[in-house]
């Protein structure tokens, strides 16, 4: 839970509070790979500290369901192609042979 505190300097009868959150993609893919969607329940409540005595808040708390769907195209892990690995090994052997030849001379 997080508590947000903000002053409302020019408050005129209505205010809109917006909160955004992010779910890290790798966490979702590692923890929930077997499911197609996850539903989160977001609970929020608003309280006002003021010197006004007759201040009444209507709908001061709410619950919002958020459904997150897994993108199957992202979930498929494409490995490194075999030819890239072969090319890297051959380049390493070539550099090693070049170093041995230079140090031998």
Confidence check: pLDDT of 76 > 60: no
Q: For the residues 36-59, what does the mean pLDDT come to?
A: 77
User: Model confidence at 69, in pLDDT bands (50, 70, 90)?
Assistant: confident
User: Between the ranges 50-59, 60-69, 71-80, 91-100, where is the mean pLDDT highest?
Assistant: 91-100
- In this prediction, residue 8 carries a pLDDT of 66
pTM over 0.85: no
Which of these, 32, 43, 96, 80, lies nearest to 65 by C-alpha position? 43
Strand intervals (E) in the chain: 37-45, 61-69
What is the reported pLDDT for 100? 96
The closest alpha carbon to 68, from 48, 38, 43, belongs to 38
**Residue 79 buriedness (CB in 10 A; 0-12 / 13-18 / 19+):** exposed
pLDDT for 81: 86
Does position 4 have pLDDT exceeding 80, yes or no?
A: no
Confidence band, pLDDT 50/70/90 cuts, at residue 90: very high
Report d(CA 97, CA 21) in Å as an integer: 53
Distance CA 70, CA 59 (A): 32
Output the six-digit token pair for 88: 């890297």
């Amino acid at each position: 839970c997080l508590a947000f505190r903000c002053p409302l300097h020019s408050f005129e009868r209505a205010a809109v509070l917006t909160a955004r959150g992010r779910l890290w993609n790798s966490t979702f893919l590692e923890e929930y790979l077997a499911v197609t969607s996850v539903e989160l329940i977001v609970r929020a409540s608003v309280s006002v500290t003021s010197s006004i005595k007759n201040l009444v808040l209507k709908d001061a708390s709410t619950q919002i369901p958020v459904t997150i769907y897994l993108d199957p195209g992202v979930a498929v892990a494409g490995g490194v192609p075999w030819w890239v690995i072969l090319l890297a090994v051959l380049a390493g052997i070539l550099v090693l042979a070049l170093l041995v030849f230079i140090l031998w001379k």
